[in-house]
Amino acid sequence: AKDAGRNRFSYFTPALQVAALNRMRLTNDLRGAVKAGQMELYFQPIVHLRTGRIHKAEALVRWRHPLRGMVSPLEFIPLAESSGLIHEIGEWVFQESARWIQRWRTDIHPEFQVSVNQSPLEFQREGGYEGWMRLLTDLGLPGQSIVIEITEGLLLDASNAVTKKLLQLRDVGIQVALDDFGTGYSSLSYLKKFDIDYLKIDRSFTRNLAPNSSDMALSDAIIVMAHKLGLRVIAEGVETPEQCDLLAQAGCDYGQGYLFAKPMPAAEFDAHLRGQPS
């Protein structure tokens, strides 16, 4: 350590190389898992706060590494993006979701919706949603059975490609949710401009909700404004009954979080849905 300053590069480079090597290995493992159909799909309920009923869910991808166990999407989604695997993963998430939606529309609620996440890279990819719509049509499902969750950053530097994508979605009836709302450089003007259907209040707001707190005031204002613009509001990260009550009082439409349920394997979620009181 004494000559670490003098020889800074030889001190740090090995660590960087190890990190790069790990990323490479993990990316290779991910490629293998995707090809072998080893990704898993979890669902988390989105609860209608006034009635407590579940007619919506978010699809969340999972990867169980044979040696490392569950790898967080926060770790492998960036690898999937840099390697291009994200497109295959996204296709699989959509196909798998569509099959479950068909069951849940038949057995649980005729307007059951599933949201799928799209990273900016996926959303900005050339090409429309013809493939998706073909699959939905084959299953007898309308575009409205799918919600795509995108982040606000996409709208900020709304290139023609992004605008075009949003118009394509509107044409086929697929809905759009703005994820993690409030964490970026939120500008409200684009909410109406882009025909967004749902706004998801980020869990950093939900976490700090308390009567008369500034996050409460902000959430109140976001909900009022969203409703004026015709959007529905979903609060993320609802963990306590207090947070749930405050959100319901503020007129928030839906809640999602550990208070209701953690994300769970599709079959388990299916059983959860069938167990809800009718």
Where do contacts with ligand C2E occur on this chain (CB under 6 A)?
44, 60-61, 72-74, 77, 90, 93, 117-119, 122, 149, 179-180, 203, 237-239, 256-258, 263
Closer residue to ligand C2E in complex, CB, 149/197: 149
Closer residue to Ca ion in complex, CB, 29/117: 117
Cβ at position 259, least distance to Ca ion in Å:
16
The site partner of 182 among Ca ion, ligand C2E, none (C-beta below 5 to 8 Å per kind) is none
The site partner of 239 among Ca ion, ligand C2E, none (C-beta below 5 to 8 Å per kind) is ligand C2E
Which tokens hold the place of 104? 């849940």
Cβ at position 246, least distance to Ca ion in Å:
19
Closer residue to ligand C2E in complex, CB, 108/237: 237
Closer residue to ligand C2E in complex, CB, 34/250: 34
CA distance 235 to 222: 11
Establish if 152 lies at the interface with Ca ion (CB under 5 A).
no
CA distance 254 to 227: 13
Establish if 239 lies at the interface with Ca ion (CB under 5 A).
no
Q: CA 177, 183, 60, 57 torsion: positive or negative?
A: negative
Which of 111, 124, 18, 138 shows the shortest CA–CA distance to 81?
124
Pick from 29, 149, 152, 253: which binds Ca ion (CB under 5 A)?
149
Cβ at position 73, least distance to ligand C2E in Å:
3
For the segment 75-134, give every residue that binds Ca ion (CB under 5 A).
117
Q: CA 90, 93, 96, 98 torsion: positive or negative?
A: negative
Helix, strand, coil abundance in the chain, percent, nearest 5: 50, 20, 30
Written as one letter, the residue type at 155 is L
The site partner of 237 among ligand C2E, Ca ion, none (C-beta below 5 to 8 Å per kind) is ligand C2E
The DSSP code sequence of 54-90 is EEEEEEEEEEEETTTEEEPHHHHHHHHHHHTHHHHHH
Cβ at position 55, least distance to ligand C2E in Å:
18
Cβ at position 116, least distance to ligand C2E in Å:
6
262 in helix, strand or coil? coil
CA distance 148 to 11: 45
Closer residue to Ca ion in complex, CB, 93/250: 93
43 and 57 in contact (C-beta within 8 Å)? yes
Which tokens hold the place of 205? 């707001």
The site partner of 257 among ligand C2E, Ca ion, none (C-beta below 5 to 8 Å per kind) is ligand C2E
154 sits in the region (left: phi over 0; alpha: psi -120 to 50; else beta) called alpha
Pick from 195, 215, 220, 270: which binds Ca ion (CB under 5 A)?
195
Contacting residues toward Ca ion, per CB under 5 A = 117, 149, 179-180, 195, 197, 236
